[in-house]
Amino acid sequence: MTINPEAPVRVRIAPSPTGDPHVGTAYIGLINYIYARQRGGKFVLRIEDTDRARFVATSEQEIFNSLRWLGLSWDEGPDVGGPYGPYRQSERTEIYREHCDLLLANGTAYRCFCTAEELEAVRKQQMTAKLPPRYPGTCRHLKPEQVEGNLATGKPFVVRMIVPPHAGEATTSTTFRDELRGDITFEHNNVDDQVLMKSDGFPTYHLANVVDDHLMHITDVIRAEEWISSTPKHVLLYRAFGWQQPRFWHMPLLRNLDKSKISKRKNPVSLIYYRQAGFLPEAMINFLGLMGGGMPSPTAETAAGQPAAKASEADIFSLSDMLARFEVKNIRLGSPVFDLTKLKWLNGEYIRAASPESFFASLRSTILSDSYLSQIAALVQTRIETLGEFGNLTHFFFADDVLPTPEVFIPKKRTLEDTLAFAAEQLTVLEATDWTHETLEPALKQLGEEKQWSVKENFMLLRAIITGSTMSPPLLESMIVFGKARSLDRVRRFLDTQKKLATGKR
């Protein structure tokens, strides 16, 4: 049962607040936004925060800020409300529980009491036998009295959905239509009895996503290709509930230059980075619009795989151009390459085309903003004798690249190799640490102790990487003002450059 084609269009993006807002969210957000606006439909923002282990408190606000920065406004969402709220999944747990009970009652789901150890033992056996890891269905066959007994003793359980065949049925595969690809069929022996409700009472992504898309009257699920393999589970859930399913569109994934899925190791993926590093929102939107195609562009091959040898005028368009000329039939399924060189070229085009006033306004709203400058001023006030020296100590806050020479970054008695290995460890620690003095200092010191790097060596190396020099305002405070996204990018770029230098190809 698919959605009534006449139903008014409603689309959504459903980011999980697990870290910095991702360029992929903006890319998928843009396509949803255009699709809704072109059809007089509604664009919904839903926060999928049921994964409490990966939850990051500041992330939701950063998602809002980044999408607004790009000009992608939503009609319904946690901060603006709407008729089908709440729009934050953590506030909907009761709804999921009720829906899970419906499935338990109609026999399309069951309680599973298997312990983590039991599941692990099965997984090991399957691996030894070179079988794909699958839940063996043990608890599918529990008798009602066994279930009652387990419940009475308070044994923890999850709820799993029954992937057909149900007893006595013949269904062995699920087919759904992807609007960009046509029919896609999944054999059920590749689909596990998916957990719907975890033992902590929180739903999994699959249950919450389907229940919400239904209750929020979503007509079109436009999301990234990586969710294709989840879709058969969702289709089975729509059937289990007896609901109409939405249309599914899976956009091609953004890729690194080497075609791997876009990752922070190869490209900055945080929208915060792009904003703070001075990319203009118009350029960013234009670039993301090039990614999956959609515009009638003569340089279609650019986004379809090859990094642009030459970018052309036709690659330059605004959000309103996209609203006027974007067509889903132009979407290409080749892997769009997130090519920073091209993004920079585009950004340069926008900078050159801006009036002097608006260029200056862009600087004033980012790297020359009062809040940024005043924080930097506070760091150097006690360290300079004339105002003219301000730049001597602070250039690294304004430069994009600072590359310390080996004399500056290799501590005495350390080798280049040791130093780079330690810098890579620093990066891992920094990635995992909250960006405050109280958390950064002990985290770095602990790493130093583990690897037997003195505090002096440890901080000297990081200072060299971040500031390019052995002298700077206080390091951690500087990194906090400079921001996590840009600091991490600097360390990654340093390591990357050193790697290239070592292998002789710059």
Catalytic residues: 264
Q: Contacting ligand GLU (CB under 6 A), which of 3, 10, 11, 16?
A: 16
**H-helix segments, 52-115:** 59-69, 93-105
Q: Which of 3, 15, 88, 110 binds ligand GLU (CB under 6 A)?
A: 15
User: Which C-beta is closer to ligand GLU: that of 213 or that of 349?
Assistant: 213
Cβ–Cβ under 8 Å, residues 489 and 431: no
CB of 454 to ligand GLU, least distance (A): 42
Which residue reads 């899925």 in tokens? 261
Give the sign of the dihedral formed by CA 163, CA 166, CA 167, CA 168.
negative
Task: Please report where in the chains the tokens 């239904």 appear, as a residue.
Answer: 214
Q: What is the DSSP letter of 177?
A: E
**Cα 273 to chain center, whole Å?**
13
Cα distance between residue 346 and residue 349, in whole Å: 5
**Burial, 147: exposed, middle or buried (Cβ in 10 Å; 0-12, 13-18, 19+)?**
middle
Decide: is 49 part of the binding site for ligand GLU (CB under 6 A).
Answer: no
Give least dist CB 135 to ligand GLU, A.
Answer: 22
Provide, rounded to whole angstroms, the least separation between the CB of residue 99 and ligand GLU: 17
**Of 10, 169, 4, 15, whose CA–CA distance to 89 is shortest?**
15
The nearest distance, CB 244 to ligand GLU, in angstroms, is 17
Are 49 and 16 spatial neighbours (Cβ–Cβ below 8 Å)?
Answer: yes
| Alpha carbons within 13 A on the beta-carbon side of 129 | 10
Q: Which of 3, 9, 11, 14 binds ligand GLU (CB under 6 A)?
A: 14
- Give the per-residue contact string, 185-224, with ligand GLU (x = CB under 6 A; - = no): --------------------x---x-------------x-
Does the footprint of ligand GLU cover residue 88 (CB under 6 A)?
no
50 near ligand GLU, rule: CB under 6 A:
no
Q: Which residues from 284-313 bind ligand GLU, rule CB under 6 A?
A: none
Of 291 and 466, the one with the shorter C-beta distance to ligand GLU is: 291
CB 178 within 8 A of CB 250: yes
Among 20, 48, 49, 489, binds ligand GLU (CB under 6 A): 48
Q: How far is the CB of 211 from ligand GLU (least distance, A)?
A: 12
Count of C-beta atoms within a 10 Å radius of residue 265? 12
Q: Please identify which residue in 71, 75, 147, 227 interacts with ligand GLU, judged by CB under 6 A.
A: 227
Nearer to ligand GLU, 231 or 302 (CB): 231
Residue 393 CB, shortest distance to ligand GLU, in Å, is 41
Whole-angstrom distance, CA of residue 41 vs CA of residue 33: 9
Residue 458 binds ligand GLU (CB under 6 A) = no
Query: What does the alpha-carbon distance between residue 13 and residue 221 come to, in Å, rounded to a whole number?
Result: 8
- Number of residues lying near ligand GLU (CB under 6 A): 8
Candidates 14-22, 76-84, 236-244, 479-487: pick the segment binding ligand GLU (CB under 6 A).
14-22
Of residues 128, 100, 283, 343, the one with CA closest to residue 207: 100
**Region binding ligand GLU by CB under 6 A among candidate stretches 11-19, 343-351, 372-380, 422-430:** 11-19
CA neighbor of 21 nearest in space, from 51, 57, 53, 64? 64
251 Ramachandran zone, left/alpha/beta (phi>0; psi -120 to 50): beta
Q: What is the CA radius of gyration of the chain?
A: 26
Asked if 332 interacts with ligand GLU (CB under 6 A), we say: no
Residue 468, interface with ligand GLU (CB under 6 A)? no
Give the span between the Cα atoms of 402 and 393, in whole angstroms.
13
Rule CB under 6 A: say whether 225 interacts with ligand GLU.
no
CB closer to ligand GLU, 231 vs 487: 231
- Which range, of 10-18, 106-114, 149-157, 326-334, touches ligand GLU by CB under 6 A? 10-18
User: What minimum distance in Å lies between the beta carbon of 77 and ligand GLU?
Assistant: 14
Residues forming the site for ligand GLU (CB under 6 A): 14-16, 48, 205, 209, 223, 227
